[in-house]
């Protein structure tokens, strides 16, 4: 992508409304624009990050055996009357009437709708286990939307729903998602802590939140400090291995388990002072096992191996991609801007032409840009007619992990500089060596 043809909406001034660093940087770097309270446009730079976050989520959901579909944002009130949540949900639910005066709502979650999909098609235990997910907008009329897309009214959610014949099967489905979540967040360069949680309006008796440590987080976490060094399940994880996944779950929820309040954790006192970690964090995912709450109310049953009808056991599993993006920024930035982990960077590299219009600089940059594009590197070429200082500031702000800097003096001897955005380290290389460095591993 050539910057001269991109739509990058950098702000020079610090936006006054932004209270936390991720919100400030997302506005300054031109990632999002507020349209009304808690409702955002994802501008092209932000959209690229969101797409990469979603791609990782999707890959890990698929790997764990979940199957993608797409349900609508608008739902009929009837479904929610069946489950009893239409009245219970309260003011957070945006209620709408269509031209026939039929009550509709903008979905805050999809337990009812997926149960309706399930009961329409699945009749036998032979079709289980089943886990269906989508990545779709939700709306919750939060009392206090704040911190940009961290807590917005309209937001994206990956929500998965598992169906099993009995509790045992459902617990395995829960453990599958548990392991998939650890992998998902780690691939984004994040360390997520699973914390025992309340089930709230979703219901059920087993639930974990996944928390990213950050000072600006809204949740409080207590756990053993070793928690931060636990292994993440590998790419070879067998999601059908019941005992193996149980072991992963047990390890992460053992006596080291994270909790939100001291008194909530009898085993917690066993952790000697000095080995305890207490911190603040951002909830980026939340998983629930709620048994037959919705399947019972809505008649989702299958024929079991015994020939009898069984009400299916369900769980639901959420991740907030539009919250994950600011959470990643909270975890990875400096005073000059964002420092993207490569896996979610809007651009993996930026080529900075220090003197656009200079024949030799233009030729060197075109050569590097072309070679990186050919090799499949997501590269941005700053070909604009601007002074070098402004280009450096932009590059640091938008946070591509690697900068390739080409100026007249270096180019005259066939050299460019490579700067690592995270460490700030610079290295002078020949143009060929720079191309090799950036294309190896792609
Ligand atoms: C689980 C999937 C549920 O809704 N039903 C379907 C269950 N869980 S949840 O905890 O309420 O939400 C799941 C995740 O969605 C993100 N999220 C938000 N992101 C931005 N702004 C909001 N207002 C918001 N509310 C929820 C969080 O990442 C949460 O973990």
Q: Residue 255 has what pLDDT?
A: 62
**Torsion sign across C-alpha atoms 43, 45, 46, 51:** positive
Q: Is 142 in the pocket of ligand 1 (CB under 6 A)?
A: yes
Nearest to 327 by CA among 216, 401, 220, 402: 216
How far apart (Å, rounded) are the C-alpha atoms in residues 152 and 150? 6
355 token code pair? 């003197």
With b for 16 or more beta-carbon neighbours within 10 A and e for fewer, the 301-337 pattern comes to bbeeeeeeebbbbbbbbbbbbbbbbbbbbbbbbeeeb
33, 318, 286, 217 alpha-carbon torsion, rounded to 10°? -10
DSSP string for 306-368: TSSEEEPEEEEEEE-HHHHHHHHHHHSEETTEE---GGG-S-SEEEEETTTT-HHHHHHHHHH
CB of 219 closer than 6 angstroms to any ligand 1 atom: no
Distance, in Å, from the CA atom of 245 to the CA atom of 233, rounded to the nearest integer, reads: 9
Q: Reply yes or no: is the peptide bond before residue 129 cis, omega within 30 of 0.
A: yes
- The pLDDT score that the predictor gives to residue 253 is 84
212 CB near ligand 1 (under 6 Å): no
Q: Please report, to the nearest 10 degrees, the dihedral formed by the alpha carbons of residues 121, 124, 125, 127 taken in order.
A: -50
- The encoded tokens of residue 30 equal 């031109």
Distance 357 CA to ligand 1 centre (A): 49
Nearest residue (by CA) to ligand 1, atom 3, is 318
**Ligand 1 pocket member 326 (CB < 6 A):** no
Task: Judge whether 279 and 195 are in contact, CB under 8 Å.
Answer: no
Residue 327: C-alpha distances to residues 66, 243, 321, 405 (Å): 25, 32, 10, 29
- Three-state DSSP at 370 gives helix
Taking the C-alpha atoms of residue 31 and residue 49, their distance in angstroms, rounded to an integer, is: 9
User: 300 alpha carbon to ligand 1 midpoint, in Å?
Assistant: 24
pLDDT of residue 263: 44
Please give the backbone phi and psi of residue 157, each rounded to the nearest 5 degrees, phi first: -135, 140
Q: Residue 45: which of 7, 102, 89 has the closest Cα?
A: 7
CA distances from 416 to 4, 190, 364, 376 (A): 21, 32, 9, 21
For a ligand 1 pocket test, name from 113, 323, 327 the mutation site with the most ligand atoms within 8 angstroms of its C-beta.
Answer: 323
The one-digit pLDDT tens for each residue of the chain (442 residues) are 999 999 999 999 989 989 999 999 999 999 999 999 999 999 999 999 999 999 999 999 999 999 999 999 999 999 999 999 999 999 999 999 999 999 999 999 999 999 999 999 999 999 999 999 999 999 999 999 999 999 999 999 999 999 999 999 999 999 999 999 999 999 999 989 998 887 778 777 789 999 998 888 888 888 888 888 889 999 999 999 999 999 999 988 876 677 776 545 545 866 788 888 888 899 999 999 999 999 999 999 999 999 999 999 999 999 999 999 999 999 999 999 999 999 999 999 999 999 999 999 999 999 999 999 999 999 999 999 999 999 999 999 999 999 999 999 999 999 999 999 999 999 999 999 999 999 996 5
> 150 alpha carbon to ligand 1 midpoint, in Å?
11
112 lines ligand 1 (CB under 6 A): no
pLDDT of residue 266: 47
Give the per-residue pLDDT at 261.
61
User: From the CA of 422, how far away is ligand 1's center (Å)?
Assistant: 31
- Report the nearest-CA residue for atom 26 of ligand 1: 320
Q: Which two tokens stand for residue 229?
A: 């060094």
Closest CA to 111 of 285, 300, 239: 300
Judge if pTM exceeds 0.85: yes
Does 320 sit in the ligand 1 pocket, CB within 6 Å? yes
């Amino acid at each position: 992508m050539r910057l001269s043809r991109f739509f990058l909406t950098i702000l020079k001034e610090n936006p006054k409304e932004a209270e936390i660093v991720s919100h400030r940087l997302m506005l300054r770097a031109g990632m999002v624009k507020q349209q009304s309270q808690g409702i955002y446009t994802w501008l092209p730079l932000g959209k690229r990050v969101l797409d990469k976050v979603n791609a990782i989520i999707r890959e890990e959901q698929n790997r764990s055996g979940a199957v993608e579909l797409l349900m609508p944002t608008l739902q009929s009130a009837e479904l929610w009357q069946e489950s009893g949540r239409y009245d219970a949900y309260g003011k957070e639910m945006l209620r709408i009437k269509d031209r026939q005066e039929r009550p509709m709502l903008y979905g805050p979650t999809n337990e009812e709708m997926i149960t309706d999909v399930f009961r329409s098609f699945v009749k036998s235990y032979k079709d289980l286990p089943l886990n269906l997910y989508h990545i779709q907008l939700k709306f919750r009329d939060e009392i206090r939307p704040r911190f940009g897309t961290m807590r917005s009214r309209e937001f994206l959610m990956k929500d998965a729903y598992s169906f099993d014949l009995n509790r045992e099967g459902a617990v395995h489905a829960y453990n599958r998602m548990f392991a998939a979540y650890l992998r998902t967040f780690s691939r984004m360069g994040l360390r997520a802590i699973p914390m025992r949680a309340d089930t709230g309006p979703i219901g059920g008796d087993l639930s974990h939140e996944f928390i990213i440590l950050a000072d600006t987080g809204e949740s409080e976490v207590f756990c053993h400090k070793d928690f931060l060094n636990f292994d993440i399940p590998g790419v070879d994880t067998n999601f059908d291995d019941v005992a193996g996944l149980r072991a992963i779950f047990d390890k992460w929820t053992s006596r080291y388990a994270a909790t939100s309040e001291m008194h909530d954790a009898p085993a917690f006192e066993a952790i000697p002072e000095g080995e305890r970690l207490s911190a603040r964090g951002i909830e980026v995912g939340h998983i629930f096992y709620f048994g037959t709450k919705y399947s019972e109310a809505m008649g989702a049953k299958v024929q079991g191996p015994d020939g009898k009808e069984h009400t299916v056991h369900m769980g639901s599993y959420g991740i907030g991609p539009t919250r994950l993006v600011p959470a990643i920024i909270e975890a990875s930035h400096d005073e000059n801007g964002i420092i993207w982990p490569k896996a979610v960077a809007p651009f993996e590299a930026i080529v900075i032409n220090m003197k656009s219009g200079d024949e030799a600089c233009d030729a060197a940059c075109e050569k590097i840009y072309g070679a990186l594009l050919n090799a499949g590197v997501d590269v941005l070429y700053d070909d604009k007619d601007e002074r070098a200082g402004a280009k450096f500031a932009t590059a640091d702000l938008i946070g591509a992990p690697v900068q390739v800097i080409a100026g007249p003096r270096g180019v005259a001897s066939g050299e460019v500089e490579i700067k690592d955005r995270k460490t700030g380290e610079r290295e002078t290389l020949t143009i060929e060596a720079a191309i090799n460095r950036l294309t190896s591993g792609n």
